[in-house]
């Protein structure tokens, strides 16, 4: 297992950060969540003037053997078709990335398709999709560990281009099923409370999905070790995201966390090294019912709640302008002293 040396965040600037936020030309606390974001950015960067440099979004893609059993509203082929859509700029994630000036990256972690090498797709393919974990482990332990390593390498390369802010996305038909099982095992929550609609299943579809996942769970040895859980039930995109998150925290980057699947990867990373959570901002609460359970386990406070559940980092990218606004007011908004405005000493 690759070792990630993640530093604890320093508290040495806590007083100064809060004072800088409180003495801006506004009533204390009046910028609400933006003030919390600015404080967290300052702590992560250990700076009174936090900056967002060269933000990148990375969408990791992989196929799942369980998708052949019909756990999703869509067929497995949609995974590779969506990657072509990314290349053409037609997906919601690429539209939002362009809107906000975020560099868009897509990684083939294990899609059941061969892409032309001329396409701007980062090829880190472990295999052509995972095995069907209803019948056998999704991958070998060696593949899991190699996936973590490859995901870390992707972030290391992006970080070298002066990037200190990373957004994670995913694409893989059937990956809400993996996320549900990861939550159930690592969060010690009954599976029926973890299984949701995914790509749009109706009530009967959700029940069928639960039955299939429960069958796979019944054959598992019940280990709560995160590597064991990822090996048996993960997706290649999920294990690479785990490695990517741990490496990003090691590099002191800010991680903007998307919805249900991305947070399941963070939960696994958190179980490997809890310090990773301190480098995270939580973009939104997904409309996938069990997402809030994951957030509660890690104490993550979502910035938005706008009923999104598309994945692909879309919720995080919709949230991104708020993060920029937090950094902007921290660095450019005048203090009472700067503006020559009298600072109220008591509430009237």
The model's pTM: 0.95
pLDDT at position 344, please?
56
312 given a catalytic annotation? yes
What pLDDT score was predicted for residue 200? Answer: 65
Q: What is the mean pLDDT of residues 268-293?
A: 97
Residues 19-35 pLDDT 10s: 999 999 999 999 999 99
Q: Which residues, in sequence order, are CB contacts of 280 under 8 Å at separation 6+?
A: 254, 255, 256, 257, 266, 300
Paired tokens of 61: 């893609």
**Alpha-carbon separation of residue 129 from 64, 125, 266, 287 (angstroms):** 5, 9, 21, 27
Q: What is the pLDDT of residues 39-59, one digit of tens each?
A: 999 999 999 999 999 999 999
* pLDDT value, residue 70: 84
From 35, 146, 250, 312, the catalytic residue: 312
Compute the distance between CA of residue 308 and CA of residue 304 in angstroms, rounded to an integer: 10
Is the pLDDT at 61 greater than 80? The verdict is yes
Mean per-residue pLDDT for 311-326? 97
Per-residue pLDDT of 200-235, as tens digits, reads 677 787 888 999 999 999 999 989 999 999 999 999
CA 137 vs. chain centroid, Å, equals: 24
């Amino acid at each position: 297992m690759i070792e990630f040396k993640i530093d604890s965040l320093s508290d040495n600037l806590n007083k100064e950060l809060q004072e800088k936020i409180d003495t801006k030309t506004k009533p204390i606390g009046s910028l609400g969540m933006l003030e919390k974001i600015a404080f967290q950015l300052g702590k992560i960067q250990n700076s009174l003037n936090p900056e967002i440099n060269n933000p990148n979004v990375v969408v990791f893609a992989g196929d799942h053997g369980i998708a052949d059993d019909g756990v999703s509203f869509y067929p497995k082929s949609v995974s590779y078709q969506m990657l072509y859509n990314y290349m053409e700029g037609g997906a919601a994630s690429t539209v939002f990335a362009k809107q906000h000036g975020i560099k868009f990256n897509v990684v083939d972690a294990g899609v059941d398709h061969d892409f032309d090498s001329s396409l701007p797709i980062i090829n880190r393919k472990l295999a052509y999709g995972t095995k069907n974990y209803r019948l056998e482990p999704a991958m070998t332990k060696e593949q899991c560990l190699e996936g973590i390593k490859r995901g870390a390498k992707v972030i290391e390369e992006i970080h070298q281009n002066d990037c200190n802010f990373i957004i994670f996305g995913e694409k893989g038909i059937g990956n809400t099923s993996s996320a549900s099982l990861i939550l159930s095992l690592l969060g010690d929550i009954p599976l029926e409370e973890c299984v949701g609609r995914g790509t749009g299943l109706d009530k009967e579809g959700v029940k069928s999905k639960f039955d299939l996942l429960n069958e796979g769970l019944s054959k598992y040895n019940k280990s709560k070790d995160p590597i064991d859980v990822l090996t048996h039930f993960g997706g290649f995109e999920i294990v690479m995201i785990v490695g990517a998150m741990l490496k990003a925290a090691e590099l002191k980057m800010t991680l903007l966390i998307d919805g249900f699947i991305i947070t399941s990867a963070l939960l696994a990373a958190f179980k490997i090294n809890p310090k990773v959570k301190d480098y995270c901002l939580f973009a939104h609460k997904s409309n996938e019912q069990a997402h809030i359970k994951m957030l509660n386990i890690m104490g993550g406070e979502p910035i938005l709640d706008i009923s999104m559940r598309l994945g692909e980092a879309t919720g995080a990218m919709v949230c991104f302008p708020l993060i920029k606004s937090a950094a902007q007011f921290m660095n450019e908004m005048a203090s009472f002293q700067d503006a020559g405005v009298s600072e109220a000493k008591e509430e009237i």
